[in-house]
A and B are shown apart, each in its own frame.
Chain A
């Protein structure tokens, strides 16, 4: 092998991309040729210098959470656009009875503007894109509708949805909560085109009696109040132990959470699904989903 041949293969040699035979040829030449060996050494040093001079931008701490939040939201969107894989989803508890057939799209579109008291109590069913579009177009009306849905719940009825007592929930008021407005902004940016929601701020929490040392009660300053969510974590904040909607008295039993996807859970509640998107140890997104609609609300975002 001559010098031009060896130098032509120099990069492939450094990249470990030469086959064994050619590799030996080039290395043999470098052993015999000090000038080519000097070039090989210089090239290696040059590449190292390049790596040092263009150091990587550190991955933001919350990037993974934000990305998988977006992915889970996408999974939710896809699951709403197509038939939900109810049979394939692992369940921690028997599914609630669901016997009513899905209404026709036209009927659903009609119902989305109707009296919420007349809605069927069946859990969420497949929701066609056309209906999603219709409901999206009537977003304001739907928001009002959902407000009414949650506002009219009877606390006594709602309590049957969970097995956690109020006293147990109070006992677990021990996890400090921190609230990051930047995380909210990121979520807002990522999810705004996909779901509608209300978001509370740190000031909202404080104004509602937020205690830095003992849980948080999140209230909306404007309608759809009185919706509120109290969320508590146990241990290092990796598990949801209690989910409470204080103003309605609703206690959700975490053991009834149905894993739907990575970090995404659903909870059947009086014919509606409470979708909980958990990303990492601390970030929660609650998406309340009715059997008529796919509108979501970010009720609480508590960052530990």
Chain B
């Protein structure tokens, strides 16, 4: 049974939601890469959050709560993952980053400067090629400044999984861009760290 909207709660919802609008839209735009879908996603997030506002615990992290709705809506609307039967919990099979066996790869400052000068859309394309779980974590962390705790709440995974996803996302992104840069002759193939 839907509750009748309390005027004070309506006002409180708008007070809390409005400051997040730009951040929500930025994230939605990066997730969907489509202006119309981004707006739809933000609006659906707003409506769902409003309907569920009774469940929001005052004083808790509203940003993480709303972004969790956003990411869930994104999954429901566009990723479709949630509609597939969940056989294994992704978090359970993700190795924590300390257990990663591959040698980590890093760009030097000089290489990063070269990439800044030479690359254009390749960065966006590389971001979009990341596995969805990695990408969501990275976008929220790098572009929206989410703390690990906020990411844990938003993505609904333990802190260790958050760290694992961010680490692996960054490594995957660097490897992808290094490959791209080497293929394009922007970086020499011998360049290593």
Q: Are the CB atoms of B29 and A45 closer together than 8 Å?
A: no
Tell whether A262 is near chain B: CB-to-CB under 8 Å.
yes
B:69-104 near A, CB below 8 Å = 97-98, 104
A:36-67 near B, CB below 8 Å = 38-39, 41-54, 56-57, 59-60, 63-64, 66-67
* Bound CA span A53–B123, Å: 6
Tell whether A8 is near chain B: CB-to-CB under 8 Å.
yes
Please tell me the number of chain A residues within 8 Å of chain B, measured between CB atoms.
54
Tell whether B57 is near chain A: CB-to-CB under 8 Å.
no
> Which residues from chain B sit less than 8 Å from chain A, CB to CB?
1-8, 10-11, 13-14, 18, 21-22, 25-26, 29-30, 35, 38-39, 42-43, 46-47, 50-51, 97-98, 104, 106-113, 115-116, 119-120, 123-124, 127, 141-143, 147-148, 163, 166-167, 170, 173-174, 193
Q: Are the CB atoms of A82 and B173 closer together than 8 Å?
A: no
Nearest B residue (CB) for A52? B116
Q: Are the CB atoms of B21 and A78 closer together than 8 Å?
A: no
Residues from chain A with Cβ under 8 Å of B148 in the complex: 12, 15, 17
* Bound CA span A44–B124, Å: 18
Chain B interface, >50% SS class: helix
> Which residues from chain A sit less than 8 Å from chain B, CB to CB?
7-8, 10-12, 15, 17, 38-39, 41-54, 56-57, 59-60, 63-64, 66-68, 70-72, 74-75, 78-79, 81-85, 88-90, 190, 259-264
- Identify which of B14, B143, B173 contacts A56 (C-beta below 8 A): B143
* Bound CA span A83–B1, Å: 11
A to B contact number (C-beta, < 8 Å) = 156
Q: Are the CB atoms of B193 and A39 closer together than 8 Å?
A: yes
- Identify which of B10, B26, B108, B113 contacts A57 (C-beta below 8 A): B26
| Listed A/B pairs (5) with beta-carbon separation below 8 Å | A12-B163, A46-B111, A54-B124, A59-B25, A263-B14
- Identify which of A44, A48, A84 contacts B4 (C-beta below 8 A): A84
- Identify which of B1, B163, B170, B174 contacts A82 (C-beta below 8 A): B1
Residues from chain B with Cβ under 8 Å of A46 in the complex: 106-107, 111-112, 115, 174
* Bound CA span A38–B109, Å: 7
Q: Are the CB atoms of A260 and B7 closer together than 8 Å?
A: yes
Q: How far, in Å, is A152 (CB) from chain B's closest CB?
A: 31
Residues from chain A with Cβ under 8 Å of B43 in the complex: 66-67, 70, 190
Nearest A residue (CB) for B111? A42
Residues from chain A with Cβ under 8 Å of B174 in the complex: 46
Residues from chain A with Cβ under 8 Å of B22 in the complex: 56, 59
* Bound CA span A190–B42, Å: 13
Residues from chain B with Cβ under 8 Å of A81 in the complex: 2
Q: A78-B2, A262-B11 are in contact. Are A57 and B29 (CB under 8 A)?
A: yes
Q: Are the CB atoms of A43 and B25 closer together than 8 Å?
A: no
